Structure 1
Amino acid sequence: MIDIGLTHIALPVSNLERSVKFYSTYAQMQVIHQRIDVETGVAVAWISDNTRPFVIVLIQKDSVHPVLSPLAHLGVGCKSREYMDSLCDKARQEDLLIQEPKDSGYPIGYWAFLQDPDGHTLELSYGQEIGLVVENNSL
């Protein structure tokens, strides 16, 4: 099998372990591959939520300048509005919530922005119908 289409996005991070913990907590992603790059000595982790063949490649660097900050962001769909609210409550307590939850109606749905440990933005959402739109357009 050969991968085709969009397979990953790579993000520089200052602390690989801290970033893995953030994406595990707020995006239900887990490490599926981890290594120290032989040529550069840089720590790398591929993380996935295992719902599709797509990963975020986290690359540890000494200096990080966030490239994904509002409006540029990673988007994660949540299983329910209540679950999303619980994640936002946790993020608020950890001072990671940068945009309070907001219901923007169809097709955007209910969404909020969080900031990862390096300043990249993660959008949590409920009710966006991206999967349905893609499915309907691929017929």
Structure 2
Amino acid sequence: MRPTLTHLALHVPDLDACVAFYTEFCGMQVIHQRAGKGARIVWMAEPGKEHEFIFVIMPGGQDRCLAEDDYSHFGFAVASREQVDEVAAKAQLDGCLVWSPRDEPYPVGYYCGLRDPAGNYVEFSYGQPLGPGSQAMPIP
């Protein structure tokens, strides 16, 4: 047996705020909505990846209250260092930047971190061996 990771399910305190965040910052889109257990449940995915990996977002969660030095996060790759800077600048204006852009040795690369409305941290990176900008070398 070889399982495949297909989704991540999150209970969040403000469903609409989280849907807006993942739409605006991550480019995800709502691909399905349904009523479930008395509340709306939303499925979101990156365009073209609807059958590969989704976020299932449900109301009823509590704020995560992560410390700034807690590096638990969801990771999104972007196509350039400039895109990391653009995300960080927008997040700074919106008051959700937690890690200013920084450079780390391979395989970490250049990244910044945001706080979503539920308190989860979301990383935007360039130069990791995953996604856009990935290098064609093995992970050490």
TM-score normalized by the length of structure 1: 0.83
Q: How many Å separate the matches in 1 of 2:107 and 2:13?
A: 35
Shift of 1:127: 1.0
- Structure 2 match to 1:17: 16
Shift of 1:105: 2.6
Counterpart mapping for 1:44-55 below 5 A: 44-52=41-49, 53-55=52-54
Q: How many Å separate the matches in 2 of 1:41 and 1:105?
A: 47
Counterpart mapping for 1:71-110 below 5 A: 71-110=71-110
Q: Percent identity among equivalent residues?
A: 36
The structure where helix makes up a greater share of residues is 1
Distance 1:76 1:68, change over 3 A: farther
TM-score normalized by the length of structure 2: 0.82
Q: How many Å separate the matches in 2 of 1:118 and 1:136?
A: 34
Q: How many Å separate the matches in 1 of 2:65 and 2:28?
A: 20
| Deviant stretches of 4+, over 4 Å | none
Shift of 1:14: 1.7
Corresponding position: 1:116 with 2:116: yes
Aligned length: 131
Q: Report the 3-state secondary structure (helix = DSSP H, G, I; strand = E; otherwise coil) of the residue aligned with 2:25.
A: helix
Distance 1:95 1:47, change over 3 A: same
Aligned-pair Cα RMSD in Å: 2.4
Shift of 1:68: 7.3
Q: Which amino acid counterpart does residue 25 of structure 1 have in structure 2?
A: E
Shift of 1:67: 8.2
Shift of 1:51: 4.7
In structure 2, stretches of 5+ residues that fail to align are none
